Structure 1
Amino acid sequence: MLVKTRGIVLNYIKFRETSIITKVYTEQLGVQSYIINSVRKKTPGSRIALFQPFMLLDMVVYTSHKGGLTRISEYKSAHPFSSIPFDIRKSSILLFLSEMVSRTIKEEEENPQLFHFLYNAIIEFDEQQEHFENFHLVFLLHLSHHLGFGPSNGAEIIEQVAFSANAQSNTGAPPVLALQAYEVYFHQLLRTPGQTTIPNGKVRREMLSILIRYYQLHVERLGEIKSLAVLSEVLS
């Protein structure tokens, strides 16, 4: 059966000489994986760029009651980006966020609220010309609410991460004292993200590290985020 749906590309892996297997979060079917043939050919008009992280697609896809890999009948860009491909900071942020989404969203069923949050956030990010340095932090905070473990305030994040760190420590020292300095910034990002001023990149990187740890406490087998090193280097 054919289904028309919008999709958000999460990632792809190479398959055979010129094909790929791509993971897409679809509006109608949740997370799906598709085989795309001959998309990596080095010829004019190659469409591999459409399967970069967080590209937005309009698609007509095949479905199967058996699940597993299927194919895309038709696909095209749903929203050509105006800034993301030309800004290394933005593309690095999206690479990181797409990996986080890919590791945290597993369900093969529709979730309109989650899909619309992701879709609209990506468009908003593309349209931002400046002051987007906190976007990935705000995005992860909002995503956590859609995933069911969103914090109500900054203290909740710090306490959970600090308690976890203390449980793993042999010294028994209260890490909450070292982390408390970031509590107010998390609280501001939750309440008034557009008015939050984080003093420098070092604080921002520490906050991201804390937020990833917070996700690890709630998402089973989240694992290492490979794109984090690239993001940290680009935003340093």
Structure 2
Amino acid sequence: MYSQTKGIVLSNVKYSESSIICKVYTAKLGLQSYLVNGVRKKKGGSAYYQPLNILDLMVYHKNNKQLQRIKEVKTPITYSSIPFHVLKSSVALFLAEVLSKCLKEEEENQDLYRFLENSLVEFDQSDFDSQFHIRFLVALSSYLGFYPNMENANLPYFDLINGCFSEDKNEHKYYISNTTEFVSALNLEPIHNKKRILEYILEYYQLHIDGFGRIKSKDVLESVLKV
């Protein structure tokens, strides 16, 4: 059946000489993969499907089918700065890779979708914020169900497995000591050591999302941001 939905592109890969397979996180259908035929032969056709583009879609959706089809596509929002700003585009590629590893559910989650779209539009329209990706990941964790428990944030250790602060180290090795800047990051306050805090947050994601693994674009991002 046909369904109309907004969506955010996460990734695309070449398929045959003229087509692509595009992963899109949609407002009504969750994560979906679309086979887009002939798009590589059309001038500018693949521009719609660049990572983090926001789309209006009319799709033909069939439950339990791996590859869906797009009937019509429009761009309700065109970014004015992300594609042309080296720092912003580097952050965008990093976030697209993270989201590709986080978003797996094929079901509607309007709150999560609105958070993603609103955050991306704000990022595009605002002055560059070198801490945006950290703020984004902290906020995203609440939608994914593992936002850190902020009770007892004055305690000296943060347990990355249990997601809470503690008085002592636990038996495992996954904890943070010297939590002052980590607490500041969780409170969305300015921090100095962005590289270390990002490493903590990505490790936290790795422990709470199966198959999250290593984020390849992290090194490029840090090189561009010079952190």
Same fold, judged at TM 0.5 (above): yes
Partner of 2:10: 10
Deviation (angstroms), 1:65: 2.7
1:187 to 1:69, Cα distance in 2 relative to 1, 3 A: closer
Structure 1 residues 158, 119: CA separation in 2 closer, same or farther (over 3 Å shift)?
A: farther
Q: TM-score, normalised by structure 2?
A: 0.88
Q: Which amino acid in the other structure matches residue 214 of structure 1? A: Y
Percent of aligned positions that are identical: 41
Higher normalized helix content (fraction of residues): 1
1:116 maps to 2:114: yes
Q: 1:176 to 1:100 in 2, by over 3 A?
A: closer
What whole-Å deviation, never above 9, does each CA across 1:86-116 have from its counterpart, x for those lacking one? 1111111111111111111111110010011
SS in 2 for 1:50: helix
Indicate the residue corresponding to 1:208 in structure 2.
198
Runs (4+) of structure 1 exceeding 4 A deviation are 154-158, 162-166
Which of 186, 210, 221 lines up with 2:211 in the alignment? 221
The answer as to whether partners of 1:153 and 1:186 remain within 8 angstroms in 2 is no
State the distance in 2 between where 1:61 and 1:158 align: 48
Q: For structure 2, list consecutive stretches of 5 or more residues without a partner in the other structure.
A: 163-168
**Mapped partners of 1:139, 1:55: distance in 2:** 17
Q: Does 1:159 align with 2:158?
A: yes
Q: Secondary structure at 1:126's aligned position in 2?
A: helix
Q: 1:89 aligns with which of 82, 87, 90?
A: 87
**Residue 133 of structure 2 corresponds to residue 136 of structure 1:** yes
TM-score (norm 1): 0.85
Partner residue, 1:106: 104
Please name the residue that 2:221 is paired with.
Answer: 231
Paired residue for 2:191?
A: 198
Residue 148 in structure 1 maps to residue 145 in structure 2? yes
- The number of residues matched between the two structures is 218
Considering fraction of residues, name the structure with more strand: 2
Partners of 1:176 and 1:29 in 2: how far apart? Answer: 37
Which piece of structure 1 moves more, 160-169 or 104-113? 160-169
